[in-house]
Amino acid sequence: MSLKDKAFAVRDKAYAPYSNFKVGAAIKSQSGDVFVGCNVENVAYPEGTCAEAGAIAAMVAGGETKLTEVYVVADAPLPVSPCGGCRQKLIEFGAGDVVVTMATTSGIEQSMTLADLMPGAFTEEHLGNS
């Protein structure tokens, strides 16, 4: 199953009873393993979890800390990019040249690198720990 197929499949499992805006994400780790996540809403909106954050959590729980590719899908007229918080989470585990493909359920795709999505990202280098 491709990264795209896995993102589409997990999107169907999203828990979005309030917005009905289901999102699925699949990330490929440095080892080639694929981890998925879907958005999980909460009646207290800020307490929900984004699909990308869920996929990252699954990757870390699986013992991986480097991602090499990301695919995100939502049922929207145009591809939906990761939110600002998820962009920061993605850059934590991926280099600037990692490609993020954003797609609609109707098949429209747009790809950008993490560096393009998160210019001026706050990284470990800012802490002087590199």
Binding-site sequence positions: 39-45, 50, 83, 86
52 tagged catalytic? yes
> Which segments are annotated as binding site for substrate?
39-45
- Cα–Cα distances (Å) from 1 to 11, 33, 92, in that order, read 15, 12, 26
How far apart CA 60 and CA 111 sit, in angstroms, is 24
How far apart CA 82 and CA 111 sit, in angstroms, is 12
Residue 81 token pair: 């990019």
Of 47, 52, 69, 92, the active-site residue reads 52
> Which segments are annotated as binding site for Zn(2+)?
50, 83, 86
Between the two ends of the chain, the Cα-to-Cα distance in Å is 36
How far apart CA 53 and CA 105 sit, in angstroms, is 20
What are the beta bridge partners of residue 69? 28, 99
Active site residues: 52
